[in-house]
Structure 1
């Protein structure tokens, strides 16, 4: 089987301008679905878009995985009147129908997980021709003429006695190549439904949906950290953590950053207690590279924009869980990781959304001993486990 997925994105959005790039917990909306697809058992994921900023972002930031390609879609298939099937057909032709199973994933359903995608794959592997994700709801449905649809209002059932009904949540669709080439549609043949959790019924269509989705994602991320286990790795941002978030520049570029020797000794002590530091920064700085070489930190990752997806991939290589990591960051691109690791911390000078989310709100500034303070906390915590 060759299982591929399309994530179609349009640059034009009438309801919410630049919807697919809106930040949710510090990450562009589309990256939540993309990260789940990367983690899943899909063989390849195609982001199909006419948005040049998305194209540049993916080409620059996802070199660490071979599972993702970004393909430019035509103006016709990205128009307001074009159907999603038109985009699916266009991509299928561009890749010469190089798949046995074709999945449609929606960026507006960011609560989709890798486990959900794998479940849909399993449905097709077990013989269904196509699969559609649904949510069971116990809502009572009515027609506009006052006629009840799914229950007898004279004998109103209790919730526990009511089977409810299944509703498309717009998250995952999948079909065999044979079905797609025959029907030119995301569904056909023997269709099987696949249930997902009730909160995944929420899709992003209106600005208020962004607020609700962010709260649902926050709640989900917090479940990853329990129970907190002994910390094996400390993941560190650089600017605002190792430094005071300032740098000197001239016309040739970055001249200098200031690093605390006090923090450097703290990381040496940390390693003596069998906790390894990992550097993860969105900047691609030669000065940072040299400083980490001086500190003999081997796991130093520069130019990482989607830190959450990158860390998901890294923890598989390290064979650890998120609750065995600590994370120290200061800005919103650190937010998803701070919420989801065993201990998430921030320095005193962190952005307010980060300070509101962090488990540990340090009393020292980045570049002024924040790392050392957190190191001492981790050593103390591990000694009690």
Structure 2
């Protein structure tokens, strides 16, 4: 049974400019749901967009998986006056309905987890032809004419005694091919419901919404962590190994400055069986040569979605994120900073990173910060 995911994206956004590409906790918004979809039970995920930059980003960024495909949608289907169903059916026709289960995923729902997707898929059986995610709300609802909808004001119930209502949160919709062809709709005639956490009801339509959702994501990532012995140490490069400055010539990148003490710290750390990984958004020959000199084998260059790559490493090697330490200095490190067992930041990192890191080091990047981080990890493991 072939199960596909479908993420529709449009360039235009009236409430928040470039919303889908804007960085939410250091990651483009759409990559939150895309990353979870990759690690779900979906067989393929299609990103359907009118933005060539997103198509190029996906082809470059997710080379480590064969599950993700990006397709350009028509201008007509990307118009903000047409329905999502129009785009769905246009896409399905373009691939000749080559699937058994269709799963619509909304990019504006960053709280979606792979478990939510899998539960919706599991609901599709002889009893249900479709499923959707909902949130239970204990709000008291009213009609405009002043009449109550879901309770008796004369017998106002306590929250703990109130069943509440289930509200569609617009995150995940799954349906069979047969149902989609018959109804031309994301939902069929026998609908199953899957509950998600209440925080997933937040919509991102304004700058204020964005700040609220980002704050909630930070708390969720941190809440899921537990303490464990550190077995792996992941490092950013620019602003961690170096002071963040680069010398250029007319031929391109010329020099970066590295601290020899940092290299010795990493060598000692590996003697304590802590594996070292380097993950940087830059595609730099200088970095590649320096890491080769340091005998660091796990070097990932040109990575924009660092969190998804880290998740891939965890799954591929059956590792726990709680046994990872991470050091970074800027916004593209934020999700990993908030998610790993221990996160560290050089003293001259950006304020937002220092705000969320577990440890702010006393040394600056390119001036002993990594050596200090290595000492911290070794001392922590000794006491663990």
Question: Which TM-score band applies after superposition, normalised by the shorter structure?
Answer: over 0.9
Q: Compare 312-321 and 335-344 and name the one that shifted more.
A: 312-321
Question: Partners in 1 of 2:99 and 2:183 — Cα distance?
Answer: 16
Question: Partners in 2 of 1:268 and 1:162 — Cα distance?
Answer: 59
> Where do 4+ consecutive residues of structure 1 move more than 2 Å?
none
Report the CA distance shift for 1:126/1:206 in structure 2 as closer, same or farther (over 3 A). farther
Counterpart of 2:20 in 1: which secondary structure? helix
Q: Do the aligned residues in 2 keep the contact of 1:224 with 1:323 (CA within 8 Å)?
A: no
Question: Partners in 2 of 1:33 and 1:336 — Cα distance?
Answer: 14
Cα offset, 1:53, TM superposition = 2.1
- Residue number in structure 1 paired with 2:37: 37
TM-score by length of 2: 0.98
Question: Partners in 2 of 1:216 and 1:125 — Cα distance?
Answer: 34
Q: Does residue 116 of structure 2 align to residue 110 of structure 1?
A: no
Question: Partners in 1 of 2:238 and 2:177 — Cα distance?
Answer: 48
Cα offset, 1:196, TM superposition = 0.9
Cα RMSD after superposing both structures: 1.0
Q: Do the aligned residues in 2 keep the contact of 1:170 with 1:203 (CA within 8 Å)?
A: no
Question: Partners in 2 of 1:125 and 1:59 — Cα distance?
Answer: 34
- Residue number in structure 1 paired with 2:302: 303
Cα offset, 1:127, TM superposition = 4.1
Counterpart of 1:310 in 2: which secondary structure? helix
Question: Partners in 2 of 1:66 and 1:349 — Cα distance?
Answer: 38
Cα offset, 1:142, TM superposition = 0.6
Question: Partners in 2 of 1:273 and 1:95 — Cα distance?
Answer: 52
**Consecutive unaligned residues in structure 2, runs of 5 or more:** none
Alignment of 1:82-97 (within 5 A): 82-97=82-97
Question: Partners in 2 of 1:360 and 1:233 — Cα distance?
Answer: 17
Cα offset, 1:126, TM superposition = 6.5
Counterpart of 1:131 in 2: which secondary structure? strand
Deviations 1:259-290 (A, max 9, x none): 11111111110011110100000111111111
Deviations 1:22-80 (A, max 9, x none): 21111111111111111111111111110122122112211111111111011000001
Count the aligned residue pairs: 384
Question: Partners in 2 of 1:215 and 1:243 — Cα distance?
Answer: 30
Deviations 1:347-381 (A, max 9, x none): 11211100111111011111111110000000000
Alignment of 1:1-385 (within 5 A): 1-125=1-125, 127-226=127-226, 228-385=227-384
Counterpart of 1:133 in 2: which secondary structure? strand
Question: Partners in 1 of 2:329 and 2:379 — Cα distance?
Answer: 22
Question: Partners in 1 of 2:170 and 2:207 — Cα distance?
Answer: 18
Question: Partners in 2 of 1:224 and 1:152 — Cα distance?
Answer: 39
Cα offset, 1:303, TM superposition = 0.7
Question: Partners in 1 of 2:206 and 2:240 — Cα distance?
Answer: 36
Q: Do the aligned residues in 2 keep the contact of 1:324 with 1:341 (CA within 8 Å)?
A: yes
Q: Compare 235-244 and 316-325 and name the one that shifted more.
A: 316-325
Deviations 1:231-250 (A, max 9, x none): 00000001111111111111
Question: Partners in 2 of 1:299 and 1:250 — Cα distance?
Answer: 29
TM-score by length of 1: 0.98
Q: Compare 310-319 and 320-329 and name the one that shifted more.
A: 310-319
Question: Partners in 2 of 1:10 and 1:232 — Cα distance?
Answer: 41
Question: Partners in 1 of 2:214 and 2:80 — Cα distance?
Answer: 26
Question: Partners in 2 of 1:16 and 1:246 — Cα distance?
Answer: 32
